[in-house]
Amino acid sequence: MSTLRSGMLPVGDGHEIFWETSGSADGVPALYLHGGPGGRLSPGYRDKVPADRTHLVGLSQRGAGASTPSAGAAGCVDLSAQSTPRLVADLELLREHLGIGSWIVQGVSWGSTLALAYAQAHPARVRGIVLMAVTATSRREVDWITEGIGAVFPEAWDRFAAFAEQHGDFDRRDHGPDRVRIVEAYRRLLASEDAELAEAAAAHWCAWEDEHVRIGGGVLEIAPLPQQVTDQQRAFARLVTHYWAHDGFVGDWAVPWGAAPGSGLLGGMDRIGRIPAVLIHGRRDVSGPVLTAWELHRAWPASELVVVEDEGHGGPQMVRAWREAMDRLTATPDPRG
């Protein structure tokens, strides 16, 4: 599937986001949101939609990939303009820039959190949703993926935690309400003006990420520390810790619509309950247990939950389910006309 158009869109705060379209210019508009935060727009995302009837839009989220300024730049980087509400606003600016009335929204991993946040903020602009490796970036999920899952990978987590204890503010013995979470300790380390310390923190963070996603991916060895941190890894580590330390900036997302404070994205499901959706998750996804996908599905009358029993944070059967979902959604007329 070849590129139709591409460009850079100024979105404020000194940021410009890279965007591209592919498929059919007259097709059903569909947005793809990559993972991370701080992931990248890989070419394979185009393979999950029917090219002959999809007008596919992809972008590098603020600070990631080809967008500028990069969160992966060497030295200290200001992340004060990074938040989920700003990312949602960026998507609306892009939709308006491209002249799209409504679109199908697809999201993978962190992209599913962003897709949910966007849909709850702008339900009239969403005609369908497809999520794979479903996350809502709640505090429960963040604490599990950074600390609780250490029970599954104790050797790698010990290395991960020991670095944060030796160089940061983390104390694994502290379970009090005012303790410094390991994700916050790493956020501070990655923001350090000590370049060598920040690089080492990025290496330890990326090794831990590689470790906990390997189940279901056929990788058997404990993930090694990167010998040299790339700009992509640096951006990923900085943005992930920034967003996760703030619980995805979605902790009180639903408050304007009457939900209880702290209820997060789950509390705003009434905003999108009638939007058709397919939620795809792997039973072996130990990084993000299927519980979140199940809770969202129960609160989402128009959703379908597909659980793939023998895959983890992605896999060929999950991708097949994604393609089938997009094939159905692009073949179905928008009920709103």
Asked about 167 being catalytic, the answer comes back as no
Order of strands across the sheet that contains 15-23 = 3-12, 15-23, 54-59, 28-33, 103-108, 126-132, 277-282, 303-308
Per-position DSSP letters for 275-305, written without gaps between them: S-EEEEEETT-SSS-THHHHHHHHT-TTEEE
Catalytic: which of 285, 287, 297, 303?
285
Q: What are phi and psi of 68, to 5 degrees?
A: -130, 150
- Answer yes or no: are the C-beta atoms of 107 and 113 closer than 8 Å: yes
What are the structure tokens assigned to 28, written together?
A: 């059903």
Asked about 313 being catalytic, the answer comes back as yes
- Answer yes or no: are the C-beta atoms of 72 and 232 closer than 8 Å: yes
Q: Read off the DSSP letter of residue 259.
A: P
Q: Is the dihedral of CA 297, 301, 303, 309 positive or negative?
A: positive
- Answer yes or no: are the C-beta atoms of 147 and 139 closer than 8 Å: no
What are the structure tokens assigned to 271, written together?
A: 């905003």
- Answer yes or no: are the C-beta atoms of 63 and 79 closer than 8 Å: yes
Asked about 285 being catalytic, the answer comes back as yes
Burial of 5 (0-12, 13-18, 19+ CB in 10 A): exposed
What are the structure tokens assigned to 177, written together?
A: 């309400």
- 10 preceded by a cis bond (ω within 30 of 0): no
How far is Cα 301 from Cα 284, in angstroms, rounded to an integer?
25
What are the structure tokens assigned to 313, written together?
A: 């944070």
Catalytic: which of 22, 60, 67, 109?
109
Q: Which residue numbers are catalytic? A: 109, 285, 313
